[in-house]
């Protein structure tokens, strides 16, 4: 099974990047948009500013880390259900962050059956 992980660099964000509650709500809207199940939430607020907001999902996770002093944020999305459209989640988060520019890195992952795992490991050794 193939899944993708998206990491999006958000530049020149116009939103308040210290607003962890607003970011959490945007992540929850993104999860709702694809029918993901939120299992909890974690937020770390940095001093003097900045935050990391993390939502573990039944389908993996959503996370935003911010650097308000640079108007920069990173959005990390990993959904283990290939039927879920990551772009829908990202759209909700970008509406909140309001970046002038964003660059998304897409990392494909191949989930191999146990019988194929030995071959995958030996190729990387």
pLDDT (average), residues 100-123: 75
Q: Report the CATH number of the 2-124 domain.
A: 3.60.90.10
The answer to whether residue 81 scores a pLDDT higher than 60 is yes
Asked whether the bond before 48 is cis by omega within 30 degrees of 0, the reply is yes
**C-alpha to C-alpha distance for 45 and 107, rounded to whole angstroms:** 28
Distances 8 to 49, 53, 119 between C-alpha atoms, Å: 21, 15, 31
Q: Is residue 110 very low, low, confident or very high in pLDDT (cuts 50, 70, 90)?
A: confident
Query: What is the residue extent of each domain of the chain?
Result: 2-124
Q: Give me the chain's average pLDDT, please.
A: 92
Q: Is-above-0.85 flag for pTM?
A: yes
């Amino acid at each position: 099974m193939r899944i993708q992980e998206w990491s999006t660099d958000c530049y020149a964000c116009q939103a308040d990047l210290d607003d962890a509650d607003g970011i959490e709500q945007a992540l929850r809207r993104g999860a709702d948009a694809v029918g993901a199940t939120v299992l909890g939430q974690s937020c770390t607020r940095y001093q003097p500013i900045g935050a990391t907001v993390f939502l573990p999902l039944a389908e993996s996770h959503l996370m935003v880390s911010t650097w308000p002093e640079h108007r920069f944020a990173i959005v990390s999305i990993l959904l283990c259900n290939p039927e879920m459209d990551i772009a829908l989640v990202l759209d909700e988060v970008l509406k909140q962050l309001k970046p002038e520019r964003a660059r998304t890195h897409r990392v494909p992952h191949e989930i191999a059956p146990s019988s194929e795992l030995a071959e995958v490991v030996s190729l990387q050794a």
